[in-house]
Amino acid sequence: MVFAVAALFTLPAAAQNDGDIRNIALSSPGIGDGLTYSSVNNSLDFGAWISGGIDWDIIPKQLTLSVDEQIRIKDQFSNPNKSYSNVGVSYRILPWLKAGAHYSLAMTKNNSGEWRTRHRGAVSLSASARLGCIKLTLREKFQATYKAYDVNLYQSPQTDLALKSRLKLEYDLFHSKWTPYISAEIRNTLNAVNSTSFEYGTYTWQKYDASTNSWENKTRTCYGNLTPSYNDIYINRLRFNLGTEWKFARNQSLDMYLIFDYNMDMPVDFSSSGIQKSYGSYTTEATGSIVSESNYYKYGVGILTLEDSCFFGIGLAYRFKL
Could you tell me the residue range of the domain that residue 72 belongs to?
A: 2-321
| Residue 290, CA atoms < 13 Å, CB-side half-sphere | 6
Rounded CA separation 258/181 (Å): 11
- pLDDT greater than 50 at residue 10: no
Chain mean position to CA 126: 22
Give the DSSP H/E element, type plus range, for residue 175. none
Q: What confidence score (pLDDT) does residue 204 get?
A: 66
Which whole-number Å values give the CA distances from 194 to 29, 179, 190, 259, in the listed order? Answer: 19, 43, 11, 30
Give the per-residue pLDDT at 307. 79
DSSP result, 22-73: HHHHHHSTT-STT--BPPPEEEEEEEEEEEEEEEEEEETTTEEEEEEEEEEE
**Tens of pLDDT along 89-103?**
999 999 999 999 999
User: Cβ atoms within 10 A of the Cβ of 320, count?
Assistant: 14
Give percent above pLDDT 90 in the chain: 56
Lowest mean pLDDT among 77-86, 145-154, 216-225: 216-225
Is the confidence at residue 11, as pLDDT, over 60? no
**pLDDT greater than 60 at residue 7:** no
**133 — alpha (psi -120 to 50), left (phi > 0) or beta?**
alpha
The SS3 assignment for 16 reads coil
Q: Which band of pLDDT confidence, cut at 50, 70 and 90, is reported for residue 202? A: low
Give CA–CA dist 87/66, Å, rounded: 6
Euclidean distance between CA atoms 126 and 109, whole angstroms: 31
Using 50, 70 and 90 to split pLDDT, how confident is the model at 25?
very low
81 has pLDDT over 80: yes
Residue 292 has pLDDT above 80, yes or no: no
What DSSP string describes 235-271? EEEEEEEEEEEEEEETTEEEEEEEEEEEEEE--B-B-
What residue type is assigned to position 27 of the chain?
Answer: S
What is the model's pTM? 0.80
In this structure, of 221-230, 257-266, 290-299, 313-322, the range with the lowest mean pLDDT score is 290-299
> What amino acid occupies position 28?
S
- Tell me which amino acid residue 251 is: N
**Predicted local confidence at residue 222, as pLDDT:** 64
Lowest mean pLDDT among 11-15, 118-122, 145-149, 231-235: 11-15
Look at residue 231 and tell me whether its pLDDT is greater than 80.
Answer: yes
- When divided into structural domains, the chain yields a total of 1
- pLDDT at 287 > cutoff 80: no
* Residues constituting the chain: 322
Among residues 177, 174, 175, which one has the least CA distance to residue 247? Answer: 177
Q: For 154-163, 194-203, 272-281, which range has the lowest pLDDT when averaged over its residues?
A: 272-281
State pLDDT tens for residues 120-141: 999 999 999 999 999 999 999 9
Instruction: Note the pLDDT of residue 279.
Output: 46
Mean pLDDT of 195-201: 69
Q: What is the mean pLDDT of residues 35-64?
A: 86
* C-alpha gyration radius of the chain: 24
Taking the C-alpha atoms of residue 153 and residue 157, their distance in angstroms, rounded to an integer, is 5
